[in-house]
Amino acid sequence: MLAFWARSVVYGIVVAAVLLLTLPSLRTGQLVTDATLAQFEPEASLLSYNYAVRRASPAVVNIYTRRYSSENRLQLNAEGLGSGVIMSDKGYIVTNYHVVARADQIIVALQDGRISTAQLVGKDQRTDLAVVKIDLDSLPVIPFNESYDPAVGDVVLAIGNPYNLGQTTTFGIISATGRPGMSFNRQQDFLQTDAAINKGNSGGALVNSRGELVGINTASFQQATDTDTYGISFAIPYSLTVKIMQKLIADGRVIRGYIGVEGREVNPVMARLLDAEQLRGVLVASTEPNGPADRSGLKVNDLIIEIDNQPIGSFRSALDVVADNRPGSKVPFKVIREGQPLELLVTIGEEPTL
């Protein structure tokens, strides 16, 4: 027994000696604590987007819609929910078309506890945007930065009212820009983000890390296509949102120019076949019979290189320039026809309603 205790004491002394040699801090009575580790990172700070949320969130509202009962025209039933963004201290709020399209009554709830009925100013199905107006004082307005250009990799926050849980913020990055192909709008470019956008987030704000408006949340890929996917959501860019909002406030609807053509982008092979030096432009594939383009003299296989003194590089850009012109205006078109330059004045028509 004595030999056993002697061996234990010797082993203990050996282990202690090894520890003292390998861990010098033990010789001065120091322990490695959180405070000790912190001295190696004196500039370390907590990464937070609280500032951005505090700037933007007061201007993001909850929107509730109600419809009259088909059995009782005096009874209003809850219809749906969504979000909106206060864009002006005059009470103009932007939301999604699909949030308010079928509503008989629109109710807006602010984050400060105030509640108000809203008047529908106008709606536009093509861009999935709508404008409503409330009559309240001292309204918080979402911060803007017109010089901000969204880029892939930028951090963004989606703020809204998912599933009526109350205001919620989700986090992600801009995954892509200029995304077309949504089921409800094949013509529109969207911002793609992996920030979660769920039912009720529609119409809410997508903001950057400074709390500035980047876009209006509209849908997730799953909502639009019934495909089981995650991390693919879409927002309507700020620049388009403001342009559509101003048109809805002015006219109650978006009046778009229209010429009635189908076209495709030119490529070098097509340019050689057309004997055209330009390697850009839009080739007219077809014209609507007796449509604005047809009546103005545009023909199939004309190569459109300029509209209203603006160079044209894609069919999308051609549509955008035409759409920005009021119906009835005469707009100069520069085309290449059978290898020869030609200028036409095209009278813009009004785009048919969807």
The CATH number of the domain holding residue 334 is: 2.30.42.10
Residue of 198, 231, 212 whose CA lies nearest to 83: 198
Q: Which domain holds residue 118?
A: 58-133
Residue 262 has pLDDT above 50, yes or no: yes
**Same structural domain, 195 and 233:** yes
Mean pLDDT within 228-257: 88
Tokens 């205790």 sit on residue: 5
What amino acid positions are annotated as catalytic residues?
98, 128, 202
Residue 25 lies in a domain: no
Domain assignment of residue 143, yes or no:
no
Tell which residue, 201, 193, 205, has the closest CA to residue 163: 201
pLDDT tens digits along 300-313: 988 898 999 999 88
Tokens read off for 14: 């050996």
| Same-domain status, 228 and 265 | no
- Render pLDDT for 15-69 as a digit per residue (tens, 0 to 9): 555 555 555 555 554 454 555 545 555 556 778 999 999 999 999 999 999 888 7
pLDDT at 208 (0 to 100): 96
CA distance 58 to 85: 9
Q: Is residue 99 part of a domain?
A: yes
Instruction: Report H helices in the chain.
Output: 2-22, 34-38, 50-56, 97-100, 221-225, 238-251, 268-273, 292-296, 315-323
Q: Write the single-letter amino acid at 82.
A: G
21 occurs within a structural domain? no
Q: Is 31 a domain residue?
A: no
Distances in Å between the Cα of 165 and the Cα atoms of 65, 81, 160, 169, 201 are 16, 11, 10, 11, 10
SS3 326: coil
Please tell me the predicted confidence (pLDDT) of residue 281: 84
Mean pLDDT over all residues of the chain? 83
Domain-embedded: residue 341: yes
Per-residue pLDDT tens digits for 81-137: 899 999 999 999 999 999 999 899 999 999 999 999 999 999 999 899 999 999 999
pLDDT value, residue 242? 95
d(CA 216, CA 183): 17
Whether 28 is covered by a domain: the verdict is: no
Residue 154: other Cβ atoms inside 10 A: 17
- Count, in order, helices (H) and strands (E) of the chain: 9, 20
110: Cβ contacts below 8 Å, ≥ 6 apart: 58, 61, 116, 136, 139, 140
301 plus 339 within the same structural domain? yes
Q: Number of structural domains, the chain?
A: 3
What pTM did the predictor assign? 0.77
Same domain, 110 and 161: no
Among the three residues 232, 251, 270, which one is the final residue of a domain in this structure? 251
261 part of a folded domain: yes
- Specify the pLDDT at position 65: 92
